[in-house]
Amino acid sequence: MRTALVTLSDEQPSSHCCFCSMQCGLEILPSDKTEGLTIKPSANFPVATGRLCQKGLNALEHVVHSERILEPLHREAARVGQWQPVSWAHAYSDIAKRITSLQAEHGRDAIGVYGGGSLTNEVSYLLGKFTRVALRSKYIDYNGRYCMSSAAAASNKAFGIDRGMTMPLSEIPNAKYIILAGTNIAECQPTMMPYLLEAKKKGAVIVTIDPRNTMTSKTADIHVRLQPGFDSVFINGLLHVMIAENLIDQKFVQSRTSGFEQVKEAVKSFTPARVEYLTGVLEAVIRTIARGFAKAETGIVLTARGLEQQVNGVENTLNYINLTLLTGKIGRSGCGYGAVTGQANGQGGREHGQKADQLPGYRLIEDPAAREHVAKVWGIEPSELPGKGVSAYELLQKIDEGEIKALIVLGSNPLVSSPNNKMVERALQKLELLVVVDMFETETARYAHYLLPGSSFAEAEGTMTNLEGRVFHRRKAMELPGNCKLDYHIISELADALGRGAYFQYAGIEDVFRELAAATAGGKADYSGITYERLQKEKGIFWPCGSADHPGTPQLFQDRFHHADGKALLFGIQPKMPAEPIDSDFPFVLTTGRLANHYLSGAQTRRTEALNKKAPVPVAEIHPSLAKRIGLSVEQKIRITSRRGSLVFQVKVTEGIQPRTVFVPFHWGDEHSINVLTNDALDPTSRMPEFKICAVKVERVD
């Protein structure tokens, strides 16, 4: 099922990897490998410095996979009977008829849309527009809610704007002290490691904070093996030392921040001795890190899901941001804060309308001026725009409660990726219409009434925004196979079937981008000065970029922050308990995470033989003290039980994990889906589920 290459003058067909937020450049060449094609790194894209990881090198395998859906499929009842191929015309007509009928009976908000963080900016934009203009529903959110929402909320609170990294990756080698908290870059963003290794070669000190010894922590000078849930306790200890020993940047704090007294009061009681008692991290280590980071000429803090996917995730992130602000390490070379985005377009995906409360350009949907601007671009009245909806998990709960009757899913697999996924399974079974646009019959698609074949990364032109906030153009490298369609065509054609096609008339994907740029003009994430022509010449432009002669903004906050007074806000954090503390019945902490061989719900990588061979099933990691406690023998499995369910796993016993913590990767479904057990408690601000902490008991399986 080879998909033909696109011929572009004398150049090799090129694209960008579909997996992590590095978005490494690649070239697709004829060979005797995967369906006559192979991949090599591109030397032209500056971010990954001519490298690809194992996922990138194997990124074509799922594109040409034999299980790929090549024509629209339909069945009347989810999981009952065989799929029947239908024409696109029949699919559009019937889906539109059912949607119209459900909305007539239950109201416009009876239809929901669930998007993804790997979609292009153009498709992300169109999906938000489709929900609000074609469906006229308020219910849209996306799987990026499970990825970056806590960091986004924290950045908006502290800085007034959310861009994952406040500086380009090229600044990392200029840092003298780097703190990596809850992030396993070596496995999740492997081609980012050369930046860290270059910094280390130049003398930088690297600190990793993680309950596990990881591939990343092997590069560290100091590794803090912190139990999940104690991040703010630990950071308060660092801040206490900095303030008590007068190590903060007084001039920066006074001139460029507000809220210092709140921080000073919040950390007063968190002496290193007390923090050692609470966390087990030695007092000497706390003082060493605090003094080292504060005294370093330059420094960077990078965070990720380890501390963000908690009910206190926003506050945890704010406390790490406090480190950069109190020491004045932001807005200049070798300094900054970064939330390491996970998904391919996790940054752009949340900027342009997939989040429940946002319109393009990070405009808030309840802001009258924002509504007026975007409505004018779309050719509708502001009053026609719906209000804000709910977060991704709450959207699924609305299905379970009966408020949402139909769901359209594009670029996501929520049955595997959501916490407490037995509830999600129950909700999907209640839908009167589930339409899934995907390349494969995913675990979610098993419950669909319509499965529509979309496009792969190699077949769809568009723009992406990587973890730095760099917007770049991804070319089309291959032709669509079978009767597949481009995702943006599916959205536009379904809008037409719903009688709203007049608002979705585009000559091509560049036309969509022009409209997106106009819709973002004047917003926080302003793309209005970016064009395809510029992107093809400049190899990427950092937003905000508000005019054709604007060079883009690689380094944020050089002169001012994005609050009205130009100052950043400091927040005094009083650490709180997780939603589900351990107790005598459930005495261990379950935390989840990624492996280098897989990506998200595994829909693509579990179909990639070279990757799946290295990690065919999830393996739980436990400490030897736990193995001894349960009397575990060689080759025995363990049963992990939470208040929501029980699963059996193969096990790895390792000294490299915090003794009270159990780790299981989340890339599998069905009987291997760790999200059967995870807690669906949500952060009150970001609505991020607490994936990283749930109380469990562990038993050996005889």
The CATH number of the domain holding residue 662 is 2.40.40.20
Q: Look at residues 279, 304, 339 and tell me which one is the last residue of a structural domain.
A: 339
**Mean pLDDT confidence for 643-669:** 97
Q: Choose the weakest-confidence range: 6-10, 130-134, 686-690.
A: 6-10
8: pLDDT strictly greater than 50: no
CATH assignment at residue 410: 3.40.50.740
| Residue 158 structure tokens | 């502290």
> pLDDT at position 43, please?
86
**In this structure, are 324 and 233 located in the same domain?**
yes
Calpha distance 174→172 (Å, rounded): 5
- The verdict on residue 300 lying in a domain is yes
**In this structure, are 180 and 304 located in the same domain?**
yes
Calpha distance 605→254 (Å, rounded): 50
CA dihedral 304, 597, 482, 70 (to 10 degrees): -80
- The verdict on residue 100 lying in a domain is yes
**In this structure, are 463 and 411 located in the same domain?**
yes
**Phi/psi at 392 (nearest 5 deg)?**
-55, -50
- The verdict on residue 84 lying in a domain is yes
| Residue 336 structure tokens | 């900054």
**In this structure, are 182 and 105 located in the same domain?**
no
> pLDDT at position 125, please?
98
Tell me which residue has tokens 């594109």. 63
Burial of 442 (0-12, 13-18, 19+ CB in 10 A): buried
How is 637-665 classified by DSSP, letter by letter?
EEEEEETTEEEEEEEEE-SSB-TTEEEEE
| Residue 452 structure tokens | 């529509």
> pLDDT at position 233, please?
98
Q: Look at residues 451, 483, 507 and tell me which one is the last residue of a structural domain.
A: 507
- The verdict on residue 226 lying in a domain is yes
4: pLDDT strictly greater than 70: no
**Mean pLDDT confidence for 148-154:** 95
The structural domain count of the chain equals 3
- Domain containing 452 equals 73-146+359-507
**In this structure, are 328 and 376 located in the same domain?**
no
- The verdict on residue 138 lying in a domain is yes
pLDDT digit string, tens, across residues 54-80: 999 999 999 999 999 999 999 988 777
% of the chain residues with pLDDT over 90: 93
**In this structure, are 140 and 203 located in the same domain?**
no
- The verdict on residue 111 lying in a domain is yes
CATH assignment at residue 264: 3.40.228.10
**In this structure, are 404 and 266 located in the same domain?**
no
Ordered strands of the 470-474 beta sheet: 462-465, 470-474, 541-542
**In this structure, are 304 and 420 located in the same domain?**
no
| Residue 495 structure tokens | 């809008």
Other beta carbons within 10 angstroms of residue 274's beta carbon come to: 15
**In this structure, are 120 and 180 located in the same domain?**
no
**In this structure, are 368 and 308 located in the same domain?**
no
> pLDDT at position 34, please?
59
Q: Which of 466, 463, 460, 474 is nearest to 530 (CA)?
A: 463
pLDDT digit string, tens, across residues 597-629: 999 999 999 999 999 999 999 999 999 999 999
9: pLDDT strictly greater than 60: no
**In this structure, are 99 and 133 located in the same domain?**
yes
% of the chain residues with pLDDT over 70: 98
At residue 545 the predicted structure's pLDDT band, cuts being 50, 70 and 90, is: very high
Q: Look at residues 476, 507, 538 and tell me which one is the last residue of a structural domain.
A: 507
